[in-house]
Amino acid sequence: MCGILAVHRVAEDIEAFKPKALYLSKQLRHRGPDWSGKAIRNKTILCHERLAIVGVDSGAQPITSEDGKLVLSVNGEIYNHLQLRQSLKNSYNFRTHSDCEVILYLYQEHGAACADLLDGMFSFVLYDQNKDKVVAARDPIGITTLYQGFNSQSPETVHFASELKALHPVCDKIIAFPPGHYYDSETNQAVRYFNPSWWDEDRIPTNPVDYKLLRDSLEAAVRKRLMAEVPYGVLLSGGLDSSLIASIAVRETEKIVNSKDTESEEARTIMSWPKVHSFAIGLPGSPDLLAARKVAEFLGTIHHEHTFTIDEGLDALRDVIFHLETYDVTTIRASTPMYLLSRKIKAQGVKMVLSGEGSDEIFGGYLYFGNAPSPADFHSECVRRVKGLHLADCLRANKSTMAWGLEARVPFLDKDFLEVTLNVDPKEKMYINGRKEKHIIRKAFDTSDEPNVKPYLPEDILWRQKEQFSDGVGYSWIDALKDTAELAVSDEEFAVPRKEWGSDIPDTKEAYWYRKMFDEIFPAQCADTVMRWIPKAEWGCPADPSGRFQASHVAHLD
């Protein structure tokens, strides 16, 4: 992934504005430390901060069409770019090996709706010089971050950037660009192109679970995400989700390495580091570290175990909020160890990792789902949570890793896999008849009745109870955050929330503390892009979002 900035119909002289645009783009350089680029056409400027993963030698951006009339800046990866090249009706002179260049020619043949043809995680802005317009788009779930900004003093100007910090100096209104949409400046409208069968929360599916299809589709999702020309690894917490992704990655890597076809794109991109590396973090002796070590030994990964102290976590909080651009309690709790781990991973020469985000939303894996009053309520909450991932776990995974120029790919959010999993009858997912959370994905990878199939995971890991990441790194992490917030926010201060917060009032001192830090870093217009996640009180859930506070949680001592 990378960092992108685009400003269309600049109000002032474009050459005079260029230094300001370059300064704004520089605020994103942590996302793309490998190279910087810019392109100016008429009153539009596109800037790009590059993290080179595919097409390393020739994929600098912005990318232009052969005649220079189309200019493209992309943040993300297009997994089906080779198939898309073959599908083009006309012949084009591709000038790079980048997976993103194909978007230029898809646009020529399909217009702005070409976004629907892309299989990947992406945000892009394309400038069409002939029509003097921009087209922007974001991937279906919002795995990559994208914001749109406006300035009331120049209402015709429209801004786009990967992070708020590149927009708030010049925009007095900022929105999170909606996932699964494209924007066309000609109509000044955002149009939803992503219309999957499961989108309607009130449509309750009735498909019986197909365990083979579940397994096959997740394996395919992992396989396509091994597309890289640089060393990669897996984030391994020792929980079900990351352990499954690691297991599949090991199997798929072995298939490619052992294949006789060493000239295929898959083989070329994987041979430089033919054994999977796994990375874990936690407080010393934490549940996740112990479980991850067991998984790594079972899978035979080259395992890297990192620890952090509570003081190191607390010291990083302000930087974490700066990079996350949120004050949501759950996100900050989980992002801090992920942020610290990402720095360690980048220092070890890795630029891409696979991660397990999305599974809990798809399968109702958070322990509070056990309180769902009906299958319909269970399913509607799953869909609602998937729709909100761009403001929660996707934001966390993207910004925690990209703070250090590390790309995180999330196979569970593959759109084909979503089509399978979110069309399963929710009765199959509910915590009934002694089933654990995420029963169907556990069962799909349970090979105990398949004597000729090598197990994917140790049985106790496959059936390990859900631990939210911020709990699994060590229970004393959240306890320390709460204790520190008690000291940082007085009772008198907590009793009088700030007027500018309106109805978005923190309900704990910890939440209040994070909001204070956010306000010290970002101006008021940035707060409109933040979503605070609060447990479902109507389901009888406790106020604290940690899974550890659910009645069904079984403690693992750290």
CATH no. for residue 445? 3.40.50.620
Residues 6+ apart with CB under 8 A from 538: none
Residues 509, 494 contacting (CB under 8 angstroms): yes
Tell me how far apart the alpha carbons of residues 524 and 173 are, in angstroms, rounded to a whole number.
9
At 54, is the pLDDT very low, low, confident or very high (cuts 50, 70, 90)? Answer: confident
Q: How many Å from the N-terminal Cα to the C-terminal Cα in the chain?
A: 35
Same domain, 73 and 104: yes
Per the annotation, the verdict on 2 as an active-site residue is yes
At 243, is the pLDDT very low, low, confident or very high (cuts 50, 70, 90)? Answer: very high
Tell me how far apart the alpha carbons of residues 30 and 401 are, in angstroms, rounded to a whole number.
10
In terms of residue numbers, what domain contains 298? 211-499
DSSP 8-class letter at 207: B
**Which amino acid is present at 391?**
L
Residue 360: C-alpha distances to residues 133, 135, 224, 527 (Å): 40, 33, 21, 26
Across all residues in the chain, what is the average pLDDT?
A: 92
118 or 473, which is more confident: 118
At 557, is the pLDDT very low, low, confident or very high (cuts 50, 70, 90)? Answer: very low
Buried b (16+ CB within 10 A) or exposed e, 203-236: ebbeeebeeeebbebbbbbbbbbbbbbbebbbbb
Pair of tokens at residue 79: 């997994």
Same domain, 31 and 166: yes
Is residue 268's pLDDT more than 60?
no
Count the neighbouring beta carbons within 10 Å of the beta carbon of residue 18: 15
**Which secondary structure element, helix H or strand E, spans residue 513, and what is its range?**
helix 509-521
Tell me how far apart the alpha carbons of residues 72 and 481 are, in angstroms, rounded to a whole number.
43
274-278, 507-511, 535-539: range with lowest mean pLDDT: 535-539
Q: What does the pLDDT look like over 131-182, one tens digit per residue?
A: 999 999 999 999 999 999 999 999 999 999 999 999 999 999 999 999 999 9
Half-sphere exposure (CA, 13 Å, Cβ side) for 337?
Answer: 33
Tell me how far apart the alpha carbons of residues 237 and 465 are, in angstroms, rounded to a whole number.
13
Nearest partner of 520 among 337, 336, 319, judged by Cα: 319
Q: Is residue 157 part of a domain?
A: yes
At 213, is the pLDDT very low, low, confident or very high (cuts 50, 70, 90)? Answer: very high
Length of the chain: 558
Tell me how far apart the alpha carbons of residues 337 and 342 are, in angstroms, rounded to a whole number.
9
Same domain, 169 and 215: no
Same domain, 146 and 177: yes
Same domain, 399 and 252: yes
Same domain, 86 and 159: yes
Burial of 257 (0-12, 13-18, 19+ CB in 10 A): middle
Q: Is residue 534 part of a domain?
A: no
Any idea what the CATH number is for the domain that residue 63 is in?
A: 3.60.20.10
Residues 138, 181 contacting (CB under 8 angstroms): yes
Q: Is residue 202 part of a domain?
A: no
Radius of gyration of the chain from its Cα atoms, rounded to whole angstroms: 23
**The last residue of a domain, from among 458, 479, 499:** 499
Count the neighbouring beta carbons within 10 Å of the beta carbon of residue 254: 14
Tell me how far apart the alpha carbons of residues 92 and 111 are, in angstroms, rounded to a whole number.
16
Return the ∠ at Cα 85 (arms to 68 and 186), rounded to 5°.
50
Same domain, 176 and 256: no
Tell me how far apart the alpha carbons of residues 266 and 262 are, in angstroms, rounded to a whole number.
8
DSSP H helical ranges for 179-280: 211-224, 240-258, 265-270
Same domain, 319 and 390: yes
Q: What does the pLDDT look like over 363-400, one tens digit per residue?
A: 999 989 999 999 999 999 999 999 999 999 999 999 99
Is residue 1's pLDDT more than 90?
no
Tell me how far apart the alpha carbons of residues 435 and 468 are, in angstroms, rounded to a whole number.
19
Is residue 553's pLDDT more than 70?
no
Is residue 356's pLDDT more than 90?
yes
| pLDDT value for 261 | 62
Is residue 16's pLDDT more than 90?
yes
Report helix, strand or coil for 463: coil
Tell me how far apart the alpha carbons of residues 210 and 397 are, in angstroms, rounded to a whole number.
29
Is residue 194's pLDDT more than 90?
yes
Please give the sequence-ordered ranges of beta strands (E in DSSP) within 105-202, or none if there are none: 120-128, 133-138, 147-150, 158-161, 173-176, 181-184, 189-192
Is residue 520's pLDDT more than 60?
yes
| pLDDT value for 535 | 75
Same domain, 312 and 271: yes
**The last residue of a domain, from among 448, 480, 499:** 499
Tell me how far apart the alpha carbons of residues 242 and 277 are, in angstroms, rounded to a whole number.
13
**The last residue of a domain, from among 148, 163, 192:** 192
| pLDDT value for 272 | 55
pTM of the full structure: 0.94
**Which secondary structure element, helix H or strand E, spans residue 233, and what is its range?**
strand 232-235
Q: Is residue 287 part of a domain?
A: yes
Is residue 271's pLDDT more than 50?
no
Q: Is residue 44 part of a domain?
A: yes
Is residue 543's pLDDT more than 90?
no
Over residues 325-349, the mean pLDDT reads 96
Over residues 190-214, the mean pLDDT reads 97
Q: What does the pLDDT look like over 285-321, one tens digit per residue?
A: 888 899 999 999 999 999 999 999 999 999 999 999 9
Nearest partner of 93 among 77, 113, 74, 108, judged by Cα: 108
Burial of 519 (0-12, 13-18, 19+ CB in 10 A): middle
Residues 6+ apart with CB under 8 A from 483: none
Burial of 349 (0-12, 13-18, 19+ CB in 10 A): exposed
DSSP 26-71: HTTTTT--SEEEEEEETTEEEEEEE--SSSTTT--SSEE-TTS-EE
**Which secondary structure element, helix H or strand E, spans residue 7, and what is its range?**
strand 3-8
Same domain, 471 and 396: yes
Number of separate domains in the chain:
2
> Which residues fall in the annotated binding site for ATP?
235, 281, 355-356
Same domain, 182 and 229: no
Same domain, 174 and 227: no
Report helix, strand or coil for 457: coil
Over residues 193-205, the mean pLDDT reads 97
